[in-house]
Amino acid sequence: MTNTNAKHKQKMNKKEKIKFILDTLEKLYPETPIPLQHKDAYTLLIAVLLSAQCTDERVNKITPTLFKQADTPQKMVKLSFEQIKEIIRPCGLSPAKSKAIHGLSEILINEHGGLVPESFEALEKLPGVGHKTASVVMSQSFGHPAFPVDTHIHRLATRWGLTNGKNVTQTELDLKRLIPMEHWNKAHLQIIFLGRQYCPARGHNIAECPICSVVGCKEIKK
């Protein structure tokens, strides 16, 4: 870290830090394509559900096969649990995920006319759909302000001193409080992109990270 960056870091208050982070993210990632391949709200919902404890890269290798057979709730319920489980096995947790995919597809047909509901409350009632998954669908499919926080965003927000790092729920509240709402939907993807490129969990080089090198880095205690 240069002396200039060190001085900059020491003088930076929370408001200045947020502005610097958002400005840097916008310069690095002006475009934010959704990492998970999908074509509509339903396929995004399934892809996000599959991404739990699995990389986006692996999910994107599996979903073309799954969606070729079933890319709507009506088609999905025609597959058996075993058929779904076999296709999604490489994503891990396949028994639970296949049950959730089949179950939520039935609910979408029976209670929502075969459509993904545009509501946090309704989404979070679906099997296998937690707040983070609902937030991704609400923000990326429907354009509602949301800040999905996964372990990567949680790690970076803690490193940058934007949250106390206790849990993802607290991190989401802290980031929503600090970052203007109009930036939420884009910023959460930008932070994920930066984490993958410059700020990994292991082998993190502070000097090479465009944000940590300026705002400082508080490592998470193992």
Which residues fall within 8 angstroms of residue 66, CB to CB, at 6 or more apart?
Answer: 46, 84, 87, 88
CA distance 101 to 63: 13
Q: Which of 17, 85, 97, 132 is catalytic?
A: 132
Distance, CA of 89 to CA of 87 (rounded, Å): 6
| Catalytic residue (choose from 17, 71, 97, 150) | 150
Within 8 A by CB and 6+ apart from 119, the residues are: none
CA atoms within 13 A on the CB side of 91: 27
Q: In this structure, are residues 196 and 190 in contact, taking their beta carbons and an 8 Å threshold? A: no
Q: Is 56 a catalytic residue?
A: no
Six-digit token pair at 162?
A: 């934007």
- Alpha-carbon span 9 to 17, nearest angstrom: 8
Tokens standing for residue 215: 């705002």
Q: 125 an active-site residue?
A: no
Whole-number Cα distances in Å, 176 to 72, 145, 170: 33, 10, 10
Q: What's the token pair of residue 109?
A: 């047909």
